[in-house]
Amino acid sequence: MDAIVKQYLQTYGISEAAQRFLSKAQKMFIGGAWVDGSDGASAEVTEPSTEGLLTHIPMGTVADLDRAVAAAREQFDGGEWSALKPAERERLLQRLADLIELNAHELAEIESIDMGKSVSQALEVDIQGTIDTFRYFAGWATKIHGRTAEPSLPGNYLAYTRKEPVGVVGIIVPWNFPLQTMAWKLGAALATGCTVVVKPAELTSLSALRFAELVQEAGIPDGVINIVTGRGSVVGAAMATHAGIDKLSFTGSTPVGITVGKTAMDQMKRLTLELGGKSAVIVREDADIKAAAQAVANGVFFNSGQVCDAGTRAYIHRSIYAQFLEELIAYTRTLKVAPGLDAECFISPLVSAQQQARVLEYIEAGKQEGAEVAYGGQAVTGPGYFVEPTIFANCRNDMRIVQEEIFGPVLVTAPFDEDDEAVELANDSLFGLAAALYSNDLGRVHSLIPRLRAGSVYVNAHSTIDPCMPFGGYKQSGFGKDLGAEQLDYLLETKAVWITLP
């Protein structure tokens, strides 16, 4: 750990538990054992607020993945896990949720230090969301069942269906919400009786490794959950082709997801792909301007814009456009840009130097295409991968900053005159993850919701996410669902059983 990182941690006074975890050598979790990569390779982990060296993580190999899949396969095919009754799985998942809650502050600190995000936001959203997800799906473990049927064909039959777990699930987790997104995929998989192999993002693997310690403490049998750190091009790619993995659940960018999906389909693996977004926001003339401006800013600048369903395209009725921009800019000025461990931080650093450079390149492209910078538009001077919250005005839909996913604190805006025009602009995108409507005319809102090609529609808010509701997109934002009862369908096989009666 570099001196600049040690000073950063000392300045903000992280917990002794987080300090102990970050100070020790990190290992992967395979079959209940803590192991190095088979070839001994490791990678540096950089702390985003200081740009200093934080620690190292093992770089797993295909051989390590083989070991993890074998452990998961053994538990699924006839191990202790496959013999558990649903109520026993439920108790283990509740115990795991209890332990996450008990260690919530430490986990939030680890998430903040590893990814750069606001520690306050991590505690309130990431960790609480993880707890809620495990509790929600724990309840589903005892409520999975098939149905009986009355066939009409000649003869006497007992006909029924069984819902059976799909098998070993390969989980590929993104870097922006490392623990929470893993929970989105793990909770349902474990509730249905599947076993899992998880590959965290190489940029943000630490919370997954601390989570694995809690898995052991909860008493979940060895081999049910396996964590293999490493590069997506090595471990992730091998997961897509591995014969021992029955289903792949991937969250990440659309280009990578398309590649992973094509490869997995060559073996007819079951797939859930939660991919990119460029979510549209429509602000009608009857909206509460001040409240809507604050909600729009929060919806795009939360987690420094590193959110797949962030409301990054705002279409505002022309009659209120100038006033709305004034309110939007005034509120954005109040959002504190600070290191993630600052309790008042809202705009935290981006996850890496590469991501900072990507966002700045898009901002420059927007300027070159003629978009007006109404606020921000620069890197923040000093250490850390900071970019100012940036607002573009009077954008055209053919601009790169309007059509392409930036994944940073950048909002593009444009006026519209009629609702039909707003819907057309909103749907003019390759993506369809989410959309938002700001209006006090609920009759009009209900007429617009079916016309928006998006997997989630938020009204007078953004990213209102709960484990009881499904999450997933239309078009190139992927297919399949995480969360909600709907997710269970993607982790269960339906078997039809026919019994000929005398």
**Residues identified as active-site:** 274, 308
**Would you give the DSSP letter of residue 414?**
E
Tokens of 251: 């969250």
- The one-letter code for the residue type at 292 is A
Q: Report yes or no: 492 and 144 within 8 Å, Cβ to Cβ.
A: yes
d(CA 155, CA 152): 9
Q: How many CB atoms lie within 10 A of CB 174?
A: 20
Tokens of 427: 């749907």
d(CA 173, CA 266): 22
Q: Are strands 270-274 and 247-251 parallel, antiparallel or unpaired?
A: parallel
469 φ, ψ (degrees, to nearest 5):
-115, 140
Handedness of CA 258, 263, 245, 85 (dihedral sign): positive
d(CA 84, CA 61): 31
d(CA 59, CA 463): 34
d(CA 21, CA 214): 13
Tokens of 58: 């093992």
Q: Report yes or no: 49 and 339 within 8 Å, Cβ to Cβ.
A: yes
CA distances from 161 to 76, 85, 300, 485 (A): 21, 19, 45, 18
- The one-letter code for the residue type at 299 is G
